[in-house]
């Protein structure tokens, strides 16, 4: 299956397999990370391999959210999609 979806209050959120892998990887590394100067995410001391565009798309899908200046974290909807 190429896409994974979860029903939210206003409809369905659809994420690609790559986006689901990115969510899972972030969750395995504390669920929260900092954005470095190149746009990549650093979580629990590890620079995650996913492109900055992946995180931007996850933000627009509301699967990750701001967690302070230059930080993101997985939302409840993101946890559902990543299961």
18-41 tens-digit pLDDT: 999 999 999 999 999 999 999 999
Distance CA 30, CA 19 (A): 17
Condensed to tens digits (0 to 9), the pLDDT of residues 52-76 reads 999 999 999 999 999 999 999 999 9
What mean pLDDT, rounded, does the chain reach?
A: 89
Nearest to 78 by CA among 2, 5, 29, 9: 5
């Amino acid at each position: 299956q190429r896409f994974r979806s979860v029903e939210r209050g206003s409809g369905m959120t659809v994420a690609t397999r790559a986006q689901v892998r990115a969510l899972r990887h972030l969750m395995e590394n504390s669920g929260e990370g900092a954005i470095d100067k190149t746009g990549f995410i650093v979580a629990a001391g590890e620079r995650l391999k996913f492109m900055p565009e992946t995180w931007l798309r996850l933000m627009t899908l509301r699967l990750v959210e701001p967690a302070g200046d230059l930080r993101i974290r997985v939302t409840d909807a993101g946890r559902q999609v990543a299961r």
